[in-house]
Amino acid sequence: MINADPAILKQFQTIPGVGSSIAKDLWNLGYRSLSEIRDENPDDMYERLEELAGCHVDRCMLYVFRCAVYCVSNEYRDPELEKWWNWKD
């Protein structure tokens, strides 16, 4: 992680299910604001994270990415869909 902006990392952590580690993953994937995550493809995000990690990443990350994209893309959200585990296949 190169010079991550603490304010942006904190902003990422406002997404349900995103803590400091996942906020850093989002930074490392190149995101610099919540709006950049809006309407992204969670499957593509997951694949890019695996490439970045150089190994298999637990599939739960895909579910977190699905939840994150939903949360930043919708002003009005279903509280059940704000739980990353409800985004399983």
Report the domain count for the chain: 1
Q: CATH number of the domain that 47 lies in?
A: 1.10.150
Structural domain harbouring 81: 6-87
Which pLDDT belongs to residue 3?
85
Summarize the confidence of residues 47-75 as an average pLDDT.
97
* All residues at 6 or more sequence positions from 15 whose CB lies less than 8 Å from its CB, including other chains: 34, 37, 67, 68, 71, 72
1 in a domain, yes or no? no
34-60 confidence digits (pLDDT tens): 999 998 999 999 999 999 999 999 999
Which pLDDT belongs to residue 88?
95
Which pLDDT belongs to residue 1?
55
Q: Between 39 and 65, name the one with better pLDDT.
A: 65
2-24 confidence digits (pLDDT tens): 689 999 999 999 999 999 999 99
50 in a domain, yes or no? yes
